[in-house]
Amino acid sequence: MTEIQKRVLGKNGLEVSILGLGCMGMSFAYGQPKDKSEMIGLIRTAVERGITFFDTAEVYGPFTNEELVGEALKPLRKDVVIATKFGFKIDPTGKKRWTGVNSRPEHIREVAEASLSRLKTEVIDLFYQHRVDPDVPIEDVAGTVKDLIREGKVLHFGLSEAGADTIRKAHEEQPVTALQSEYSLWWREPENEILPLLEELGIGFVPFSPLGRGFLTGKMDASTKFDANDFRSTLPRFTPEALQANQSLVKLIEELAKNKNVTPAQIALGWLLAQKPWIVPIPGTTNLHRLEENLGAAVVSFSAGELKEIDQATQNINIVGSRYPEALQKMAQK
């Protein structure tokens, strides 16, 4: 197994590789699900390359992604950290993936038991609330996870896309190990309020979509087409107009990459890693070449002057298009 740098999330010593692997796209969201045996092979290769941190959720599929991750990592369980999530109301008819949120204590317990079974494990290393449930006090959510931790079924508590007040209240009830939210060179909103709060409380940060759902790699333009079952086809930022308007950011990243003799993806990930020592991005991929490319970001370095220049350059770029359609946008930052 290759040794790569490690980072610690939270105050309770959850040590993980400097980059994790987001597994969602292996089962859904970006077109047809990938071949299961190939993805098992990719996950196991990721472990060989030094990745110890794997991200999944019951709603990815639903259920199929947890099953994939569980099967892939069962022989390697002692070497890895598995994060999964609760909080969605899965549609029993199968017509939709989910029909709303549900973080009632009894539901959290049901999800924990089902996830343990699908993941073929005796403990969930990091259990995130996937989205805040406005109908359930966050103290009740945190208290339920605290009980699961006492029972030995969960090791660490996490939140996803939560706002500052929610994070603070949850942390008072049960220390939060990590927040998972979107953060990248084209979504920097967490810098305003969230990052300072996480630093104050000693909470780790796990950025999802660190490559802007593929946009920051420089492989997309206004002519890029998405399948009907590709999640990006529903996102305002991936309309032809937005893809064209946002090329100025890609050009900046490509210029930085050329100067450092690395790839745009490595610049985008390296920039995130340079922001704080307790940030661990989880880029997703279904391709071994991209996995290895992403790992190369761990050795990309920036001087303080370079980071300042990037900040100044990006301040002059107006990003076009919201992250999500309105209904999904309302679920973030509660």
Q: Does the pLDDT at position 67 exceed 80?
A: yes
Residue 243: C-alpha distances to residues 134, 183, 321 (Å): 33, 18, 9
* Residue of 60, 128, 183, 324 with catalytic role: 60
The span from the CA of 13 to the CA of 21, in Å, is: 20
Q: Which residues, other chains included, contact 318 with Cβ-Cβ below 8 Å and sequence gap of 6+?
A: none
Closest Cα to residue 232, out of 244, 220, 245? 220
Specify the pairing of strand 81-86 against strand 53-55. parallel
Is residue 270 within 8 A of residue 259, CB to CB? The reply is no
pLDDT at position 326, please? 80
Q: Is 60 a catalytic residue?
A: yes
* pLDDT tens for each residue of 248-305: 999 999 999 999 999 999 999 999 999 999 999 999 999 999 999 999 999 999 999 9
Average pLDDT value over all residues in the chain: 96
Closest Cα to residue 272, out of 329, 317, 325, 208? 208
Structure tokens at 240: 């032809």
pLDDT at position 94, please? 76
Phi and psi angles of residue 322, each rounded to the nearest 5 degrees, phi first: -80, 165
Is residue 132 within 8 A of residue 334, CB to CB? The reply is yes
Beta-strand (E) ranges in 62-215? 81-86, 88-90, 98-101, 124-129, 154-160, 176-182, 204-208
CATH of 6-329, one of 3.40.50.2300, 3.40.50.970, 3.20.20.100, 3.40.50.300: 3.20.20.100
* pLDDT tens for each residue of 180-212: 999 999 999 999 999 999 999 999 999 999 999
pLDDT at position 331, please? 72
Q: Domain residues of the chain, as ranges?
A: 6-329
